[in-house]
């Protein structure tokens, strides 16, 4: 290729890579496989190698893909609604990494591993050394800092130079210790690793999301990364995330090798994989790769390759780093398993929100332990991109996803009898002309109030566990709808026992149980009722934020766009959806009927004051306070904290009143557990600011920020000014 053409191709590749970086790292919804992405990157590397004069500092070959939304702000025009929702959730403080957080050079070619070994040997001038071979966990990178044996901060990789502070969320991940055990840890060190979601938790989460008509995550990696950046730390705790750590960093570490360092980390209670192996040459490395390429299918979590690292720390130092990678490590990546099968037909399914999804019916084919018969084709764009025809032989891939996807067409096997699929212009269920909003990948049936799968889908969503939690199966709802007895959720509350007894197979007991469950659902909290209404783009977490912000439905219904945009989780897409919902007269009537039936459309007194300022904090109280100890415990719980009776390494702080128990104080001092006063706690609660841990801020000044001596404002050392929201730290 001549230089002029190379210039054009380089630009195209850079654009495509940046776009896919954004989809992968920020939106958590990639549209190409890792393999396809890597091919783009290899293409760019090859051209830049051929024309070094065309290499620029900001080329994707020279920097790591950033998980910071701000890195892609000029790409807004292409943002998908799903991506927008993801981005609107990200509001984290950013902190610089002490050591740059780099990525790994990777290859799918085993001979490249040999080349790496050779390069390393050459670089180390014939000295003998070993390799640590490890699983490459498919999750999202995390950097944990421990100081004095306590977890101080957790940062995402970000752009490698600075990352998002996700400490509050990380504290809800079960296997990350907040306090180390044993002795001998460095006063301060960093340990890096991967947050991942085991298949079981992933399947559970996606099943829930699909039922609630939220976009399912494409794979466990995206699910882990999306979950880590949720705004509600308690919700993070429910996602079943896990962590594995694989890289210890610090000044003057007392270890000769990487393996020794990780063994020590394990002794301190940190989660380190036991599936590592020290190999002395290429043949041992290859043996390890071969073993895990077969065995990984039985692991309960996703792995996408093997990482091979020079084990001796002194030699790692000798080899050093490029701008993007360590020269002492390389990743060998596994190709996702594929199967080739015939596309028999395509169904077009209409969901609760009216979105139309093409689903492929396939000739059954075995793939990674299950038989695949159906696969998602996502949307029209995807079908056109694949140039898919009915009757084609297609490649299906799973690679961690529960819904297999079609990744390509085997054109060499295309027969003469294939037909070009016709995406319907009308709703396959109700015949209404489909519409596609600007920026949306999917077509929608706009007949929200008259299209049967939409009506039924809304009813099923309304009664679901996370919404109104009415004990009834989807079949009951379908039966009630088909018989014309129920069209909207409010109709459910008009049902009588006589109505139900007219249904086939219903007896006194089943009817009574259903009515009782409906009655009980009337005490469902406002945030759940709001979620149950099924307003487009409003998931469980967003419903919670909205309920807490507006407190009642009337305030929400009358809010203008600017007011809506003030809420944490709300961006343009959600604000527009709320406004559209309340401009529909039918929804207003429906809400009035549900109100009359007795459902909660405002926060009750307890909910009103509930906060998660103390989320993730375990607090021990001791001594006397201005209120009773039971009242103090209730306050802690109401603000998301946990009470505990004895001081241990797991205790976040000891709340000491007058005459605290000397034993508790002694124990807290011994373990380095922070001791705070009633004024400290109250100040923090009245400040309404989350207890975000901060590396630089461990002192409390007792200074007031408006409220006399009540708010313990944390100061940025050296600046003397109170830190911004979210950084007030007592723990
Ligand atoms: S070592 C200096 N070890 O894969 C880089 N990384 O594709 C040190 N990863 O950025 C990284 N398992 O996020 C290392 N056993 C392992 C890993 C691992 C997964 C991730 C990590 C890295 C990415 C590169």
pLDDT tens, position by position, 426-484: 999 999 999 998 778 899 999 988 999 999 999 999 998 889 999 887 888 988 998 99
The pLDDT of residue 716:
26
Q: 34 CB less than 6 Å from ligand 1?
A: no
φ/ψ region of 388 (left if φ > 0, alpha if ψ in -120 to 50, else beta) reads beta
Give the Å distance between the CA of 131 and the centre of ligand 1.
Answer: 15
Q: Average pLDDT of 549-577?
A: 91
Q: Facing residues of 365 across strands?
A: 372
Residues ≥6 apart with Cβ < 8 Å to 441:
80, 378, 379, 380, 381, 382
Nearest CA to ligand 1 atom 4: 136
Catalytic annotation, residues: 136
The pLDDT of residue 431:
97
Q: 97 CB less than 6 Å from ligand 1?
A: no
Give the Å distance between the CA of 406 and the centre of ligand 1.
Answer: 28
Give the Å distance between the CA of 97 and the centre of ligand 1.
Answer: 16
What digits encode the pLDDT tens for the residues 662-693? 989 999 888 888 899 998 888 878 764 434 33
The pLDDT of residue 713:
25
Contact 245, 226 (CB under 8 A): no
The token pair at 723 is: 């830190």
**Pocket perturbation via mutation, ligand 1, pick of 64, 99, 116, 136 by most ligand atoms within 8 A of CB:** 136
Q: 134 CB less than 6 Å from ligand 1?
A: yes
The token pair at 679 is: 């004024």
Which carries the bigger pLDDT value, residue 475 or residue 525? 525
Which carries the bigger pLDDT value, residue 91 or residue 365? 365
Q: 107 CB less than 6 Å from ligand 1?
A: no
Give the Å distance between the CA of 86 and the centre of ligand 1.
Answer: 24
> Alpha-carbon distance 195 to 292, whole Å?
20
Residues ≥6 apart with Cβ < 8 Å to 520:
none
Q: Average pLDDT of 264-283?
A: 96
- Going through 368-474 in order, the beta strands assigned E by DSSP cover 370-376, 393-397, 405-409, 443-444
What digits encode the pLDDT tens for the residues 82-105? 444 444 444 788 899 999 999 999
Nearest CA to ligand 1 atom 13: 141
Q: 196 CB less than 6 Å from ligand 1?
A: no
Q: Is the pLDDT of residue 114 over 90?
A: yes
The alpha carbon of 537 is separated from its chain's Cα centroid by a whole number of angstroms, namely 17
Give the Å distance between the CA of 34 and the centre of ligand 1.
Answer: 15
Q: Which ligand 1 atom is the nearest neighbour of the CA of 326?
A: 2
Question: What distance, in Å, lies between the first and last C-alpha atoms of the chain?
Answer: 59
Q: Kindly write down the DSSP assignment for every residue of 300-353, as one continuous string.
A: SS-EEEEEEEE-BHHHHHHH-B-SSSBTTEEEEEPPPPEEEEEEEEEEEEE-TT
Nearest CA to ligand 1 atom 12: 136
Q: Average pLDDT of 352-362?
A: 92
Residues ≥6 apart with Cβ < 8 Å to 140:
67, 156, 157, 194, 195, 196, 221, 224, 225, 228
The pLDDT of residue 372:
87
Q: Which ligand 1 atom is the nearest neighbour of the CA of 104?
A: 24
Which pLDDT band, with edges at 50, 70 and 90, does 578 fall under? very high
Q: Average pLDDT of 204-210?
A: 83
Q: Is the pLDDT of residue 711 over 70?
A: no
The pLDDT of residue 728:
23
Which carries the bigger pLDDT value, residue 216 or residue 636? 636
Q: 172 CB less than 6 Å from ligand 1?
A: no
Residue of 380, 381, 395, 385 whose CA lies nearest to 346: 380
What digits encode the pLDDT tens for the residues 54-72? 998 889 998 888 888 777 6
> Alpha-carbon distance 225 to 568, whole Å?
19
Q: Which helix (H) or strand (E) is 94 found in, with range?
A: strand 94-96
The pLDDT of residue 486:
96
> Alpha-carbon distance 307 to 585, whole Å?
59
Give the Å distance between the CA of 12 and the centre of ligand 1.
Answer: 28
Which carries the bigger pLDDT value, residue 606 or residue 78? 606
Nearest CA to ligand 1 atom 18: 136
The alpha carbon of 177 is separated from its chain's Cα centroid by a whole number of angstroms, namely 20
Give the Å distance between the CA of 403 and the centre of ligand 1.
Answer: 27
The pLDDT of residue 530:
96
Q: Which ligand 1 atom is the nearest neighbour of the CA of 309?
A: 1
Q: Which ligand 1 atom is the nearest neighbour of the CA of 106?
A: 7
Q: Facing residues of 219 across strands?
A: none
Q: Which helix (H) or strand (E) is 319 found in, with range?
A: helix 313-319
Q: Which ligand 1 atom is the nearest neighbour of the CA of 325?
A: 2
Contact 20, 32 (CB under 8 A): yes
Q: Facing residues of 329 across strands?
A: 309
Largest distance between two CA atoms of the chain: 89
**Helices and strands: H and E segment counts in the chain:** 27, 21
φ/ψ region of 657 (left if φ > 0, alpha if ψ in -120 to 50, else beta) reads beta
**Pocket perturbation via mutation, ligand 1, pick of 242, 245, 265, 331 by most ligand atoms within 8 A of CB:** 331
> Alpha-carbon distance 56 to 73, whole Å?
20
What digits encode the pLDDT tens for the residues 632-671? 888 888 887 888 888 888 888 999 998 899 989 999 888 8
Which of 180-189, 301-310, 476-485, 680-689 has the weakest average pLDDT? 680-689
Which pLDDT band, with edges at 50, 70 and 90, does 370 fall under? low
Number of residues assigned to the chain: 731
The pLDDT of residue 154:
96
> Alpha-carbon distance 420 to 392, whole Å?
10
The pLDDT of residue 631:
85
The pLDDT of residue 440:
80
Nearest CA to ligand 1 atom 7: 104
What digits encode the pLDDT tens for the residues 503-524? 888 899 999 999 999 999 999 9
The pLDDT of residue 702:
25
Q: What stretches of 51-165 show up as alpha helix (H) in DSSP?
A: 81-88, 110-123
Q: 515 CB less than 6 Å from ligand 1?
A: no
Q: What is the DSSP letter of 75?
A: G
The token pair at 517 is: 């469950």
Give the Å distance between the CA of 306 and the centre of ligand 1.
Answer: 9
Q: 682 CB less than 6 Å from ligand 1?
A: no
Q: 336 CB less than 6 Å from ligand 1?
A: no
The pLDDT of residue 333:
93
The pLDDT of residue 608:
65
Burial class (CB in 10 A: 0-12, 13-18, 19+), 485: middle
Which of 101-105, 608-612, 701-705 has the weakest average pLDDT? 701-705
Q: Is the pLDDT of residue 717 over 70?
A: no
Residue of 317, 312, 246, 247 whose CA lies nearest to 280: 312
Q: Is the pLDDT of residue 240 over 90?
A: yes
The pLDDT of residue 723:
26
Q: Which residue has the tokens 């020079």?
A: 310
**Pocket perturbation via mutation, ligand 1, pick of 246, 276, 334 by most ligand atoms within 8 A of CB:** 246
Give the Å distance between the CA of 569 and the centre of ligand 1.
Answer: 31
Give the Å distance between the CA of 332 and the centre of ligand 1.
Answer: 11
Q: Is the pLDDT of residue 152 over 90?
A: yes
Mean pLDDT score across all residues of the chain: 85
Domains and CATH numbers, the chain: 3-82 (1.10.287.610), 96-333 (3.30.470.30), 338-413 (2.40.50.140), 452-521 (1.10.150.20), 526-603 (1.10.150.20), 618-700 (3.40.50.10190)
> Alpha-carbon distance 56 to 107, whole Å?
23
The pLDDT of residue 20:
85
Q: Is the pLDDT of residue 412 over 60?
A: yes
Q: Is the pLDDT of residue 132 over 90?
A: yes
Which pLDDT band, with edges at 50, 70 and 90, does 343 fall under? very high
574 to 84, 379, 416, 533, 585: CA distances (angstroms): 9, 22, 47, 14, 19
The pLDDT of residue 687:
64
Q: 224 CB less than 6 Å from ligand 1?
A: no
Residue of 302, 273, 305 whose CA lies nearest to 110: 305
Q: Tell me whether strands 653-656 and 674-676 are parallel, antiparallel or unpaired.
A: parallel
Q: Which ligand 1 atom is the nearest neighbour of the CA of 101?
A: 2
Q: 331 CB less than 6 Å from ligand 1?
A: yes
> Alpha-carbon distance 614 to 171, whole Å?
12
3-class secondary structure for 138-175?
CCEEEEEEEECCEEEEEEECCCCCEEEECHHHHCCCCC
Angle at Cα 563 formed by Cα 558 and Cα 564, nearest 5°?
85
The pLDDT of residue 466:
83
Q: 326 CB less than 6 Å from ligand 1?
A: yes
Q: Is the pLDDT of residue 532 over 90?
A: yes
> Alpha-carbon distance 623 to 220, whole Å?
47
Burial class (CB in 10 A: 0-12, 13-18, 19+), 283: exposed
The pLDDT of residue 116:
96
Give the Å distance between the CA of 268 and the centre of ligand 1.
Answer: 21
Q: Average pLDDT of 207-235?
A: 82
Q: How many CB atoms lie within 10 A of CB 473?
A: 10
Q: How many CB atoms lie within 10 A of CB 7?
A: 14
Nearest CA to ligand 1 atom 17: 136
């Amino acid at each position: 290729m001549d230089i002029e053409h190379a210039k054009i191709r380089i630009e195209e590749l850079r654009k495509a890579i940046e776009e896919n970086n954004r989809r992968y790292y920020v939106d958590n919804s990639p549209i190409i496989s890792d393999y396809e992405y890597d091919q783009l990157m290899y293409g760019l590397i090859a051209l830049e190698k051929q024309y070094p004069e065309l290499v620029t500092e900001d080329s994707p070959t020279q920097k790591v893909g950033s998980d910071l939304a701000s890195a892609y702000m000029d790409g807004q025009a292409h943002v998908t609604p799903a991506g927008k929702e993801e981005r609107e959730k990200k509001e984290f403080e950013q902190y610089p990494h002490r050591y740059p957080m780099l990525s790994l050079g990777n290859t799918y070619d085993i001979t490249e591993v040999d080349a790496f070994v050779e390069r390393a040997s050459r670089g180390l001038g014939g000295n003998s050394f070993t390799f640590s071979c490890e699983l490459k966990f498919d999750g999202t990178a995390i950097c944990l800092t421990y100081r004095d044996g306590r977890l101080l901060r957790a940062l995402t990789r970000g752009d490698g130079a600075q990352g998002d502070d996700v400490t509050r969320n990380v504290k809800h991940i079960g296997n990350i210790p907040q306090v180390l055990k044993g002795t001998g840890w460095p006063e301060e060190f960093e340990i890096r690793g991967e947050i991942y979601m085991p298949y079981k938790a992933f399947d559970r989460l996606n099943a829930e999301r699909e039922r609630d008509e939220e976009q399912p995550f494409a794979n466990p990696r995206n699910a882990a990364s999306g979950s880590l950046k949720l705004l509600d730390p308690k919700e993070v705790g429910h996602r079943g995330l896990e962590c594995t750590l694989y890289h210890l960093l610090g000044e003057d570490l007392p270890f000769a090798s990487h393996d020794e360092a990780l063994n020590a980390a394990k002794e301190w209670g940190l989660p380190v994989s036991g599936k590592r192996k020290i190999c002395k040459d290429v043949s041992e490395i290859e043996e390890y790769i071969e073993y895990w390429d077969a065995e990984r299918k039985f692991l309960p979590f996703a792995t996408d390759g093997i990482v091979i690292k020079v084990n001796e720390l002194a030699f790692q130092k000798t080899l050093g780093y490029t701008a993007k990678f360590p020269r002492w490590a390389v990743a060998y990546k596994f190709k996702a398993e594929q199967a080739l099968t015939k596309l028999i037909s395509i169904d077009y399914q209409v969901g609760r929100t009216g979105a139309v999804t093409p689903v492929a019916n396939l000739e059954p084919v075995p793939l990674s332990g299950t038989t695949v018969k159906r696969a998602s084709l996502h949307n029209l764009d995807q079908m056109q991109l694949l140039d898919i025809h009915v009757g084609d032989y297609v490649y299906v891939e799973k690679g961690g996803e529960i819904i297999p996807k079609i990744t390509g067409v085997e054109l060499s096997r295309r027969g003469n009898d294939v037909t070009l699929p016709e995406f319907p212009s009308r709703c396959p269920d109700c015949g209404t002309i489909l519409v596609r909003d600007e920026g949306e990948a999917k077509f929608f049936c706009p007949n929200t109030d008259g299209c049967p799968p939409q009506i039924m889908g809304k009813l099923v969503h309304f009664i679901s566990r996370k919404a109104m939690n009415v004990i009834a199966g989807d079949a009951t709802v379908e039966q009630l709808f088909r018989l014309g007895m129920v069209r909207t959720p409010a109709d459910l509350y008009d049902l009588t026992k006589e109505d139900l007894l007219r249904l086939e197979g219903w007896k006194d007991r089943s009817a009574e149980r259903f009515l009782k469950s409906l009655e009980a659902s009337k005490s469902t909290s406002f945030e759940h009722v709001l979620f149950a209404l099924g307003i487009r783009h409003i998931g469980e977490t967003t419903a919670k934020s909205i309920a807490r912000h507006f407190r009642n439905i009337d305030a929400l219904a009358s809010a203008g766009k600017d007011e809506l945009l003030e809420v944490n989780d709300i961006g343009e897409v959600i604000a527009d959806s709320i406004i559209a919902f309340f401009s529909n007269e039918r929804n207003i009537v429906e809400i009035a009927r549900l109100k009359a039936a007795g459902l909660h459309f405002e926060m009750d007194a307890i909910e009103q004051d509930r906060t998660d300022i103390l989320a993730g904090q375990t607090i021990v109280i001791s001594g006397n306070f201005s209120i009773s100890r039971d009242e103090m415990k209730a306050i802690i719980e109401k603000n998301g904290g946990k009470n505990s009776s004895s001081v241990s390494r797991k205790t976040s702080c000891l709340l000491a009143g007058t005459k605290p128990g000397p034993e508790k104080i002694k124990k807290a001092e011994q373990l380095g557990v922070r001791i705070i006063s009633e004024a400290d706690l109250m100040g923090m609660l009245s400040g309404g600011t989350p207890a975000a841990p901060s590396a630089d801020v461990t002192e409390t000044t007792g200074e007031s920020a408006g409220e006399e001596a009540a708010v313990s404002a944390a100061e940025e050392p050296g600046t003397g000014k109170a830190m911004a929201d979210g950084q007030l730290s007592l723990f």
